[in-house]
Amino acid sequence: MFTSITVCLDMFGCPNRCKHCWIGHSPNGNLTNDDLKFVAEKFRPFTNCLKVYDWYREPDYKDNYQELWELCHSLSDTHEKHFELISFWRIVRDKEYVKWLSSLGLEKAQLTLFGGEEKTDYYTGRKNAYNEIVEAIEILIENKISPRIQVFVNKDNINELPFIEKLIQRLDLENRCKSFGGEFSLFLHQGSCDGENEKLYDIRVTPDDLNKIPQSLIEHTLRYFHKTSIEEVFGKTEQMLYEQLIRNHSTASYVSPTPVFYVDREFHVYPNIAPPEPSWLLGNLKTDKIETILENYTESKSVAQHTRLTVPLCNMVESQGDCKSQRLFSEGDYIEYLLNTYCRK
Ligand code: SF4
């Protein structure tokens, strides 16, 4: 038995194709309520605390999002709050959506910008995304929900940060949130280096880029992450991490008493550790026994789990790392990048 199991079914996918998407791009599905019930029933005997979600890409993407929310509740043992993640695609198309979010007590909602209109449309993978995000900010504020802006930066868009700084000032976001007792927040980061974001490895920020970040955006970011310097947020250079890890003989297990599983539209099951890709595959709910799938997890039998459990970090970094690279990473993101590339070599 697990202390809890969270299972997320990718029922409908996502309207966007973001270039930083750590989950990666795959075709959207069109699954049914019975599919969600089927998935929940498979995991139910293995915990007394099952949590069921109808998404792991875009929340509330399907028109019957309210019905799906109720269905997830009825299939779950706990009643979780709505994530501070919303569908900006829906909020500009469906007037009822924001009212529904408000009725659930949502106080903050996260939106992602990459710079101005051209860069944001490019990185979101959809035309008009920027205009929709700006409209979404207005709708949220009108409904007393504070926007939280996430900005992914790499060498290709870091020069656009002054534009975002001006946008925040022009929209007077701090004062307008304060006026209803809310709090505007913003943070910058480079994101992990997996899924689609791994393709941006070549243009990952280096220490010299950090000087290009406007002071006010640094202050917002430090407040959000509770850090004292922007270097702490962006982490260490690959060279520093390489020198550290080349002496590290440790291995690790990803097995948890409270796992989160992702189930894709083909019913393949993956642990929510890295992108749902072949090296993390635990099995398929239609063709494998659930006992086998869970044993593959607990016995670290997926290729990636087995590799992390048996191959010391020094071997992985020697094989996949670049000892001269100045690209910035958090240690955890770098280890995961090494693991994913090692599994594919
Ligand atoms: S990052 Fe989120 S919104 Fe963008 S493509 Fe991935 S799941 Fe969709």
Q: How far apart are alpha carbons 261 and 9 in whole angstroms?
A: 9
Q: Which of 14, 110, 114, 264 to mutate to test the pocket of ligand 1 (most atoms within 8 A of CB)?
A: 14
The ligand 1 atom nearest the CA atom of 124? 4
* Residue to mutate, 56, 58, 85, 152, ligand 1, most ligand atoms under 8 Å from C-beta: 58
H-helix or E-strand containing 1?
A: none
Q: Spell out the per-residue pLDDT of the chain, length 345, in tens.
A: 999 999 999 999 999 999 999 999 999 999 999 999 999 999 999 999 999 999 999 999 999 999 999 999 999 999 889 999 999 999 999 999 999 999 999 999 999 999 999 999 999 999 999 999 999 999 999 999 999 999 999 999 999 999 999 999 999 999 999 999 999 999 999 999 999 999 999 999 999 999 999 999 999 999 999 999 999 999 999 999 999 999 999 999 999 999 999 999 999 999 999 999 999 999 999 999 999 999 999 999 999 999 999 999 999 999 999 999 999 999 999 999 999 999 998
| CA 275 to each of CA 162, 174, 202, 243, 339: distance values in angstroms, whole numbers, following the listed order | 32, 35, 19, 27, 12
**How far is it, in rounded angstroms, from Cα 48 to Cα 305?**
25
Separation between Cα atoms, residue 96 and residue 90, nearest integer Å: 10
The domain locations on the chain are: 81-234
Residue 95 CB neighbour total at 10 angstroms? 9
For the chain, how far is it from start to end, CA to CA, in angstroms?
A: 35
195 CA closest ligand 1 atom index: 6
Of 4, 53, 48, nearest to 259 (Cα)?
Answer: 4
User: Rounded to the nearest whole angstrom, what is the distance from the C-alpha of residue 144 to the centroid of ligand 1?
Assistant: 25
Helix ranges, 111-214 (H): 117-124, 129-142, 161-171, 173-179
CA distance 239 to 328: 9
The ligand 1 site (C-beta within 6 Å) comprises 14, 16-18, 21, 23, 57-58
